[in-house]
Structure 1
Amino acid sequence: MSGIFFVIWKSELSQPIFDFVHFYNVGINRVVDYSDLIALIILPFSYYYKLNHSINNEKLKYLPKPILIGICSFAFIATTLPREAGSLNFKSDYEVQFSISKDTLLKNIYGSYQRYDDPNYELVIEIPEKRSRVYVKTIITEVGDGKTNLKLDSVLYFVTESKGFWGVKKKNVDYMKSLKLEDFEKLFIEQKINIVRKE
């Protein structure tokens, strides 16, 4: 039964169910990914173990079956919370210069990084009260004498998550869509630039 349900859940066969619950704004989602079916390999082993190492039901009386079923079901279907993304595509001219090396600037703002030779870096601005994140593109270039330019090149898109499984709040998405370039630049300065200046 677990195997059959898992195959249906991870296939297009379950799409009508999701279409129905989404109509009522219930935030249940899944990704159709047939490579996940490799997990079914474990079923013969678990069945063999059950036959040869059955547990006395008396040992589980302290844990009511509905609780046990609830925990197992949550572990089975738990996934990323429902989210909604929106394109922003703002171009920015904001630029600031620091009297530190590019290496130091990257460590202060990004913590860790990989593309050292590439001047383009994607950065995330958090707006926790709206359960949202904003993704921006920055350009970092060394200008000599131990100085580095940091330019906020563009504000790319936002992602807003739900608090539970009942869908994303429309007012949070509307708020994100209402923000202007100046608002994002202010957030960028508060969360990223001011951190470097305090170092």
Structure 2
Amino acid sequence: MGLNTMHGKTKQVFTNLLRIKPELYSWPFMISLFLLFVNDFILKAAFPNTLTGKLSDFCGLYAFAFFFSKIFPENKKFAVHLITAVLFIIWKSPLSQPFITLFSTYFFTIDRVVDYTDLWALFVLPLSYFTPAKPFDRFYKTIGLSLIALIAFTATSQPRPRFHFFEPQYILLRNTKHVMSLSESGKSRSIEIDSLLLFQIEQIGLDKYPRLYDDFQQKSLLENLEKSIVSPQDLYTKPITLQHQEDSCLEKLSFLNGRLHGAYTRYINQQAIVSGFYKNGIPDSVWTYYTYAGLLDQQDIYENGEKVKHMEYSDGEHTSNSYVTTRQNKKTIAIIIFGTMCLVLLLASYHLWRQYKKAIRSVRIVERIIYPIILPIFVFIITFLLLGLLPGSDMLGAIGIQGLSLIIGCPVFFIIYFAIDKHSIYTFLLWMLIYILLIMLLHDFNFLNNLKDVSMIE
């Protein structure tokens, strides 16, 4: 009997989740949900400050409590708000770190910042509890709003932008007991060596997500790394070579003006594993990687802080070379592709103009309705595949552009096919080609425009 009762209540909760109650469509909830989306996906990236940081907590907490109070029975409303408050406090404290680590390891990465001033957002819970839920009649009962709400709630848990250095970076300081401060998304530690302080940095928080996670981005961060962390008077400026031992790993480090400068070697169990050179904190020249047996494994050649060539070895014998596309090379390729697409666009437009002069058949009403729906879908698939050929294309950006193309594409094709009487199949294909080229030109132009825009330390 108990199991049947529990099963019935569980079924009712999921039924309510799939078929949202009319009371949920209230203006306060819809406004808070809208603000949460706009803030997390637009305002935070454009204006990273205290206001946009706190707005997500206030709107998200209000919408979360209101949403789940309508999913569960009315007599559970107080319990839902109380549990929401407790979970929010735990989430904003170090107590949630084991869960975050476990979830990020086996599912996808999530993160949050331990900031106890965020707890001021708890004051919106009484507003959620006493808000009269008046129906918002212009919406239908659908699973759509449930999915939108859940996406908005989890968006604030996405990790902050950060950069993980390809090799741990070091800054050498006078042992002044200076307290280092990096953002929550940074990862560093201080190591005392004799009368000096060795500051190790593995990753660092950024002000925004990088356009590309490449050597050019790393070089831009490394050029002024010490200026972002310490004062110039804290640096140990004399040339020095020292050793850093950690478990079975031994590193020989050379410094000048507090930055890595000169030969670098890493040993494991007295066997050289990595050897290379730094120039003012930036990787330079040839970097060599060895197997545990001491045989050559890989070699990388750096120029101006960017890897330009990679060489593979097998049992110490050279097997293959590959050249790495630098940021400047990507720009050159993008310009060539952009020019080629402009030329093809002009040719397609010219042929489209000629085709209209000799259109041979009329489009039926059924075709006029079907084509505007089918063609954007074909455009979505084809463009998504072609965007992968552009240098620096990322799947998330491609999906965003494709979503925009679908939103704009359907009305555009409706206008085309309902406004013009005569077409041919060749005309349809030309329209598809032109539309695809316009989307790709937009993507390539955006890529070129932001190519030199690098993320900096938060």
- Normalising by structure 1, report the TM-score: 0.43
TM-score by length of 2: 0.21
**Rg comparison, structure with higher value:** 2
Higher helix share: 2
